[in-house]
Amino acid sequence: MEKYTLVITEKPDAAKRIALALDVDGKPTKASSNGVPYYQAYRNGAIVVVPALGHLYTITSMQKGRGYPVFNYQWVPRYQAERKASRIRVWLKVIAQLAKDAGGFVDACDFDIEGSIIGYTILKYACNGKEAEAKRMKYSTLTKEDLQESYSNLQSRLDFTLVEAGLARHEIDWLYGINLSRALTQAAQNYSGKYVTLSTGRVQGPTLKFLDAREKTINCFVPTPYWTITAKICIIDTVLEVEYEKTLENKAQATAIKDACKTKEGQIETLDVKKFLHNPPEPFDLGAVQNEAYRIFKYTPIQTSKILQHLYLDALISYPRTSSQKLPPTIGYRNILKKLGNAPVYAKHTAELLAKTSLKPNEGKKYDPAHPAIYPTGNLPEKPLGIAERNIFDLIVKRFLAVFGEPAMRQSINVVLSINSNRFHFDATRTLTEGWIRFYKPYSQLKDSTLPTLTEGQKVNIEAVFLSDHFSKPPARYNPSSLLSKMEQEEIGTKATRAGIIQTLQDRKYLQGTDRFFVSDLGFEVTEVLLKYCPTIVSPELTRKLEEEMNQIQQGTQTKQTTIQSTIETLALVTSGLKEKEAAVGAELSRSLQKTRVNESTVGLCPKCHEGKLVILRSKKSGKRFVGCTNFFEGKCNTSFPLPQTGTVKPLATACKSCGSPTVAVYLRRRRPWRLCLNSDCPLKGKMVNNAL
Amino acid sequence: MHCKICCRDSEENSFCQLHSRAFKNVQEKFRVWEAASNASWMEYLAEIQKNSLTGVWAKEVAKYLIEEEQQK
């Protein structure tokens, strides 16, 4: 058989797209070995395109048992470290088989840290040390043109500094994660005898610390009163509300001012009108699109990441895990606009932009050497997209159009008026020329106010003056978007890992809530323990310093070994400290774990005694599960409710819509979860109502 | 010694670290309330206890202080 070039891709979808693009006839042959798909194509010689399944190799400890500290590790195939990864064994066997007959190797995984490690580890371990001779494909979109161009201009070698930085990141994160998580888990287990996975890490710790600090501020918050005075004025036929020039912290003073404004007429003192230009938005980087998707559609960052990945694999958008706000001309602005114009919904706006003599995007400052900002490739969906994918695609297209728009001309008006010598004011802004705003509708958040014609000295009628009570507000809770921004601002984690870290904090039950985060007792305790026994671990400075070092590795000014060695030295000190205090750490964590378990099984307040709590219990005699009142143990209340004996039961925060009794969610295998009202006399019992969750 | 309000270990003022911080806040903000509306200590505690913007721990402290006053 003729020697072929083995092209390794990150995912099966990418392999298909690359094979389709590279084959001269656009008709690669799909083959399969033991269920592993690969493609045979031809372009200046035979090509075999084989996909990975994301990471096929991972890090594992060389020490046996679950003890810590662990500083000896190795890269192994994932099936050796993870029980659920048995499929990887066959996958690697097929890749190794294909590598034997290959005459050349090309790493076509995504051009980022993760992609570089996936390609590198496969070439090194599965292809028997071919990492030094392999070439690299670099592309930012999975379009035919980009892929063919990239294959014609292969980079002569892998980007080894990027690989080194990636390996360092994985190894350091693994060292932090395994040592600290084992220390916490073992401390709790040795104290309580119960096993619960507790985890923390290099990024998780500082992130939880931000949340902890905010939660404590909110929980300790005491509001203070203040007053505002509003006057309702009438100018021609328009009624406007104007505010007294400042807020007042004394009720008597506020009432006196309000009383002094009892008059029928006021006068416009000054009118400050300013015109200003509002520049177009900057192109999307990953963080910006995640924030915008949360603002507009309420998609969490991790949901947005998944949608972006689908759109990228469908060659509809460019590579999404970028921190760039630059759109270089090489991406071909006009070609993209022409292709987008084939969709009737974008035709009008693309035609407007194409009519311009030159196109210049309003770029931001952030630059990513690997990829440009996120942009639509110009391809239109071949099959109908789901709602979420359609929304994000539309957002990205409209943002792309908007960045080429001219600045919007806006006008701000600041009016000061006098009512019996007391100054009131109001501000308004309106758009004079829409500019880029018309391309970004309906996503632009700029508001317009309508005002009648105003002049200085103009008399206005006072319809009413009223005093309003207010209280100062606590800081807002973090939501998925604001937490992501905070992590970005503090430079902790990377664009690709931040959303995952937030998810892990929720999975570990350190955080509750989906729209707004609440730190659980367990979250408080884990932060407390880390702050008390190893404060350096939760300091953003440490993780920021490590990020800097990893950037230096990527630039070739620092070596991986030096960074790993200093990490091991830090961790050796931290883990020995934790080991010494294991009993105290275990006691503190166990107390919170116990409280978390009780909270998890609490259904609500007892409807009979109104004192005890209804909790999910198990009968010691029969082993059966039921809901009972905590006052039963004190002989005060014998309220109990039966529960289904199979499946999982979890308390629900919402009461029954019909009778107001507590409800639980019942999860049975292969069935949709459903809501169960505990009240056996509930009017809805037995009726055909939708109780699905 | 346990905190007067929860089961955590007490540190300052016989409160745990968390309730102690809330207690300090409750004390400090009284001055603002007093200047704003001439509220008495008990009126202030009652107001902040029912205010939806008051934090959970501050509310627990206010409730405890009211009960303590009433027992005197």
CATH number (domain holding residue A444) = 2.70.20.10
Partners of residue B41 in chain A, C-beta under 8 Å: none
E strands, A392-541, where? 408-419, 422-433, 459-471, 511-512, 518-519
pLDDT, residue A473, reads: 97
A510 located within any domain: yes
- Beta carbons of A226 and B22 less than 8 Å apart: no
Give per-residue pLDDT as tens, B12-65. Answer: 778 998 899 999 999 999 999 999 999 999 999 999 999 999 999 999 999 999
Give the count of beta carbons closer than 10 Å to the beta carbon of residue A118: 25
Q: Give the number of domains in chain A.
A: 5
- Beta carbons of B55 and A471 less than 8 Å apart: no
Give per-residue pLDDT as tens, A651-686. Answer: 887 778 778 788 888 888 878 888 888 888 888 775
Contact indicator for A179, A173 with CB cutoff of 8 Å: no
Residue A687 pLDDT level (bands cut at 50, 70, 90): low
**Does A250 lie at the interface with B, CB-CB under 8 angstroms?**
yes
Residue B67 pLDDT level (bands cut at 50, 70, 90): very high
Residue A688 pLDDT level (bands cut at 50, 70, 90): very low
Q: Which residues, other chains included, contact A78 with Cβ-Cβ below 8 Å and sequence gap of 6+?
A: A55, A56, A57, A58, A85, A88
Assess whether A498 and A419 both reside in one domain: no
Q: What pTM, to 2 d.p., does this model score?
A: 0.77
Partners of residue B34 in chain A, C-beta under 8 Å: none
* Full residue range of the structural domain in which residue B44 is found: 21-71
Partners of residue A220 in chain B, C-beta under 8 Å: 18, 21-22, 25, 55, 57-58
Assess whether A356 and A386 both reside in one domain: yes
Indicate the residue of B18, B37, B51 with minimum beta-carbon distance to A216.
B18
- Beta carbons of A224 and B33 less than 8 Å apart: yes
Q: What's the CATH number where A390 sits?
A: 1.10.290.10
A484 located within any domain: no
Is the pLDDT reported for residue B69 higher than 50?
Answer: yes
B50 located within any domain: yes
**Does A471 lie at the interface with B, CB-CB under 8 angstroms?**
yes
Give the three-state DSSP class for A411: strand
Question: How does the average pLDDT of chain A come out, rounded?
Answer: 91
Instruction: Tell which residue, A34, A73, A90, has the closest CA to residue A568.
Output: A73
Q: Which two tokens stand for residue A51?
A: 């996909």
A340 located within any domain: yes
Assess whether A270 and A415 both reside in one domain: yes
Task: Write down the residue that tokens 């919007």 correspond to.
Answer: A408
Indicate the residue of A219, A249, A251 with minimum beta-carbon distance to B55.
A219
- Beta carbons of A224 and B57 less than 8 Å apart: no
Is the pLDDT reported for residue A56 higher than 50?
Answer: yes
- Beta carbons of A474 and B7 less than 8 Å apart: no
Give per-residue pLDDT as tens, A288-330. Answer: 999 999 999 999 888 999 999 999 999 999 999 998 999 999 9
Assess whether A70 and A185 both reside in one domain: no
The number of residues making up chain B comes to 72
Amino acid at A101: D
3-class DSSP string for A553-596: HHHCCCCHHHHHHHHHHHHHHHHHHHHHCHHHHHHHHHHHHHHH
A483 located within any domain: no
Sign of the CA dihedral with A287 first, then A291, A294, and A300 last: positive
pLDDT, residue A589, reads: 84
Kindly indicate whether the ipTM for this predicted assembly is greater than 0.85, answering yes or no.
yes
Assess whether A209 and A142 both reside in one domain: no
Q: Which residues, other chains included, contact A370 with Cβ-Cβ below 8 Å and sequence gap of 6+?
A: A111, A112, A162, A322
Is the pLDDT reported for residue A690 higher than 60?
Answer: no
Assess whether A324 and A426 both reside in one domain: no
- Chain-centroid distance of CA A277 in Å reads 32
User: Quick one: average pLDDT of A616-633?
Assistant: 86
Measured CA to CA in angstroms, residue A670 lies from A276, A646, A647, A649, A677 at distances of 60, 13, 10, 15, 21
Q: From its phi and psi, is residue A330 left (phi > 0), alpha (psi between -120 and 50) or beta?
A: alpha
Task: Write down the residue that tokens 């970004």 correspond to.
Answer: A440
- A/B interface, count of CB pairs below 8 Å: 61
B10 located within any domain: no
DSSP H stretches of helix in A371-410: 387-403
Sign of the CA dihedral with A304 first, then A310, A316, and A322 last: positive
Assess whether A90 and A116 both reside in one domain: yes
Assess whether A413 and A393 both reside in one domain: no
pLDDT, residue A8, reads: 97
Indicate the residue of B37, B48, B54 with minimum beta-carbon distance to A251.
B37
- Our answer to whether residue A244 is catalytic in this structure is no
Residue A488 pLDDT level (bands cut at 50, 70, 90): confident
Residue A1 pLDDT level (bands cut at 50, 70, 90): low
Measured CA to CA in angstroms, residue B71 lies from A274, A501, B67 at distances of 63, 49, 6
Instruction: Tell which residue, A259, A226, A629, has the closest CA to residue A422.
Output: A259
CA angle A435, A437, A450 (to 5 degrees): 95
Amino acid at A460: V
User: Quick one: average pLDDT of A168-181?
Assistant: 92
Assess whether A343 and A363 both reside in one domain: yes
pLDDT, residue A449, reads: 83
Instruction: Tell which residue, A118, A121, A137, A139, has the closest CA to residue A129.
Output: A121
Instruction: Tell which residue, A270, A353, A286, A359, has the closest CA to residue A323.
Output: A286
Contact indicator for A105, A134 with CB cutoff of 8 Å: yes
CA distance B7 to chain A (A): 9
A381 located within any domain: yes
CA angle A244, A249, A250 (to 5 degrees): 100
- Beta carbons of B33 and A225 less than 8 Å apart: yes
Give per-residue pLDDT as tens, A68-81. Answer: 999 999 999 999 99
Contact indicator for A305, A312 with CB cutoff of 8 Å: no
Q: Give the number of domains in chain B.
A: 1
Partners of residue B28 in chain A, C-beta under 8 Å: 222
Contact indicator for A402, A442 with CB cutoff of 8 Å: no
Residue A31: in which H helix or E strand, if any? Answer: strand A29-33
Is the pLDDT reported for residue A543 higher than 70?
Answer: yes
**Does A223 lie at the interface with B, CB-CB under 8 angstroms?**
yes
Catalytic residue among A319, A443, A510, A533: A319
Is the pLDDT reported for residue A621 higher than 60?
Answer: yes
Is the pLDDT reported for residue A471 higher than 60?
Answer: yes
Instruction: Tell which residue, A101, A131, A114, has the closest CA to residue A38.
Output: A101
- Beta carbons of A216 and B25 less than 8 Å apart: no
| Domain end position, chosen among A377, A403, A429 | A403
* Full residue range of the structural domain in which residue A190 is found: 167-219+489-593
pLDDT, residue A491, reads: 78
Give the three-state DSSP class for A526: helix
Range of weakest confidence among A207-211, A460-464, A682-686: A682-686
Q: Which two tokens stand for residue A380?
A: 């239109």
Partners of residue A474 in chain B, C-beta under 8 Å: 53, 55
CA distance A177 to chain B (A): 28
B51 located within any domain: yes
Give per-residue pLDDT as tens, A130-174. Answer: 999 999 999 999 999 999 999 999 999 999 999 999 999 999 989
Return the CA Rg of chain A: 31
Q: Which two tokens stand for residue A7?
A: 């092209």
Give per-residue pLDDT as tens, A250-275. Answer: 999 999 999 999 888 899 999 999 99
User: Quick one: average pLDDT of A352-378?
Assistant: 94
Residue A565 pLDDT level (bands cut at 50, 70, 90): very high
Assess whether A37 and A137 both reside in one domain: yes
**Does A556 lie at the interface with B, CB-CB under 8 angstroms?**
no
Give per-residue pLDDT as tens, A79-126. Answer: 999 888 999 999 999 999 999 999 999 999 999 888 999 999 999 999
Assess whether A17 and A90 both reside in one domain: yes
Q: What's the CATH number where A55 sits?
A: 3.40.50.140
Give per-residue pLDDT as tens, A584-614. Answer: 888 888 887 887 777 778 888 888 888 788 8
Partners of residue B57 in chain A, C-beta under 8 Å: 219-220
Q: Which two tokens stand for residue A246?
A: 């400042």
Contact indicator for B57, A220 with CB cutoff of 8 Å: yes
Assess whether A146 and A22 both reside in one domain: yes
Residue A620 pLDDT level (bands cut at 50, 70, 90): confident
CA dihedral A150, A155, A161, A164 (to 10 degrees): 80
